[in-house]
Structure 1
């Protein structure tokens, strides 16, 4: 078949362009179809004057255009980004120190090498905390499946987004007041609910924003969904930056790693 296409391409390429004899309509349409098919198969190149050129200089994305887009963003996107930053800060603040919390607050372990018994308890606590993070990963997959299959069809996106935050807050409060290994490990499923909410629901909301004709910049200009997606993605890194800049010095100054969950001091 490829050989036949090459023969047709050669015959079309060798045709005499100076021949001005009228071509029957049916033959002309058949020739156009053959050329279009050869272009799709990569056996013929489209003429330069037929190449689509939709690019405009004003569509070029620069740092300046990104900053201007942030300044002019609609209020509803501002609110969504603030919620995203808060969610990522909460997630990183608890997730990064969860194993240390289990090792010190639940198992009463110490990180001192001269205390062999305390150090052994610390290692067991870290291992058990890792099992909790494994449960968190499994709950992420399960909740994502349920969200896509059933929940998103029965409840609004705003409600599911709010519930994800509330459930996570309840899980953190339970871990704060109850230092029991079984309870603390079970509460790890709330981590998964928050992560799924942060990674999926805002982008569904954003797609709905762009179907609304009233969703525009403050100056009335239309927004691009690609820029808005990149702004939502930046909330992840902003949350990491806030946690690194605040909790690191705080824990270093207090010398107390259990400050995230532990209420015993």
Structure 2
């Protein structure tokens, strides 16, 4: 089936809404938590629990979506449930912030902020797995997979543009944070409805493909007393509960086994993706905080209506403009230039160029103090974000389409679902975020310098650029990979 650019944009509309919601919430969440009285390390724990949960459950969500076939499509239910959870978490952040500003509601407000932040982080990121798996299902067998994931990355960047625009403008009514989060919620719901309508018209989205064979829990023996129930309901519910039960008990072990036992081509991509996302997250999550505290010499814990508080708030707002430029350049690059660069120089050179440009921008951010030059650096760092969100996903789709070639180290009868493949990739995404949130926030609190966030982003992007040499980009890399694998195996 031929997919036009407009149709691909409509299919990916929910991804845009997810990025809008996540961008608005996590631009404001670190300052909101610090202003509510949370310490830097406590803020890091709150921001790290969501990615940690995602790291241990995203593979299960991916595999379960591979198995869960229904008349409306195997991915749709997961997308809708996670969208509902995200909406509730956004409301929790809005009302939690409002209560945290009052003396009598401080405790309840802090609880809502903590829970809402964790759930929002978790749902906004895990929801990308069924969205991306759906796109992979639709593009499988077509000749537009690279274009499809370039549009996916562009729509993701467009969502970040809208989100950062909502945080950068001054809202004339209500509190700035609450107004922006409310607008993000409305935009997200509109995007969800758009995707559901676009997918409902595609017969291939509702198809029932062959179930992956690697799910050991797909066949279950039932006690005699359950034989009278409808077979479909019994099988599906029992398999689902058994799957969740096994994952809860053996969650860390099973996830580690899933990642460690992944095909060698997918493993190499996982390592590079983990390091690059750690760098990207450190910049995206703490850049506005860095500008407010280092460049504008403000402080989040300053007395209300003091000069330090005003400077910090202004720095956060100006940092949001830098992140807006970052997303705009990412969107423009991936939609206008990346495909041409891939055709001219190949995936490997394009991917490494993006990572190198991100590293250079992070190094410049450490030494520049002029806000306009800083925001120019933030804008050019969008090239790195563009390649991180598009090229690994396109490679996974290529791996999945030709498993016999790329997954040569697996048994011939062990077929993997696309949700499982993207689940491994997303474990790296969450692992990078968890390291940043749990480790770097404690480091910053210990040394007292927010510069560490940007310094880590620079170092990690250099390491990711080096690791990108080892990724399998095409069939031409397979002979070397096979030779290396055979040597290590011996």
Q: TM-score, normalised by structure 1?
A: 0.68
Q: Does 1:224 align with 2:413?
A: no
Secondary structure of 1:91's counterpart equals: helix
Distance in 2 (CA, whole Å) between partners of 1:55 and 1:181 is 53
Match of 2:362 in 1: 172
User: Who is 2:432 aligned against?
Assistant: 239
Give the root-mean-square deviation of aligned CA atoms.
Answer: 3.0
Of 372, 386, 394, which aligns to 1:204? 394
Alignment partner of 1:188: what SS?
helix
Name the structure with the higher helix share.
2
Contact 1:161 1:201 survives alignment (8 Å): yes
- CA deviations over 1:156-205 (Å, ceiling 9, x no partner): 11111111111000000001112111110011123322222121101222
Deviations 1:20-66 (A, max 9, x none): xxxxxxxxxxxxxxxxxxxxxxxxxxxxxxxx995587655666987
Aligned residue for 1:85? 274
Q: Quick one: which of 131, 137, 142 aligns to 2:327? A: 137
> Cα–Cα, structure 1 residues 261 and 115, in superposed 2: closer, same or farther, change >3 Å?
farther
Contact 2:287 2:319 in 1 (8 A): yes
| Displacement after TM superposition at 1:69 (Å) | 4.6
Distance 1:154 1:53, change over 3 A: closer
Q: Give the equivalent residue in structure 2 for 1:109.
A: 298
User: Do the aligned partners of 1:85 and 1:236 also contact (CA within 8 Å) in 2?
Assistant: yes
Distance 2:408 2:439 in 1: 33
Contact kept, 8 Å, 1:104 with 1:258, in 2: the verdict is: no
Aligned equivalent of 2:441: 248
Matched, 1:257 2:446: no
Residues 130 and 57 from structure 1, CA distance in 2 versus in 1: closer, same or farther, beyond 3 angstroms? closer
Alpha-carbon distance in structure 2 between the residues aligned to 1:53 and 1:177: 54
For 2:430 and 2:367, how far apart are their aligned partners in 1?
Answer: 30
**How many Å apart are 1:231 and its aligned residue?**
1.0
Q: 1:195 to 1:135 in 2, by over 3 A?
A: same
Residue 23 of structure 1 corresponds to: none
Q: How many residues align structurally?
A: 211
Separation in 1, partners of 2:417, 2:349: 23
Change (3 A) 1:134 1:79: same
Which structure's CA Rg is the greater one? 1
Q: Matched residues in 2 for 1:54 and 1:199: separation? A: 28
Q: Offset of 1:82 from its aligned partner?
A: 0.7
Q: CA deviation at 1:115?
A: 8.8
- 1:225 and 1:155 mapped to 2: Cα distance? 31
For the residues of structure 1 that align with 2:270 and 2:333, how far apart are their CA atoms?
Answer: 23
Structure 2 equivalent of residue 215 of structure 1:
406
Instruction: Please tell me whether the aligned partners of residues 73 and 218 of structure 1 are also in contact (alpha carbons under 8 angstroms).
Output: no
Alpha carbons of structure 1 residues 224 and 179: separation in structure 2 relative to 1, 3 Å: same
Q: Is the 8 A contact 2:288 2:319 kept in 1?
A: yes
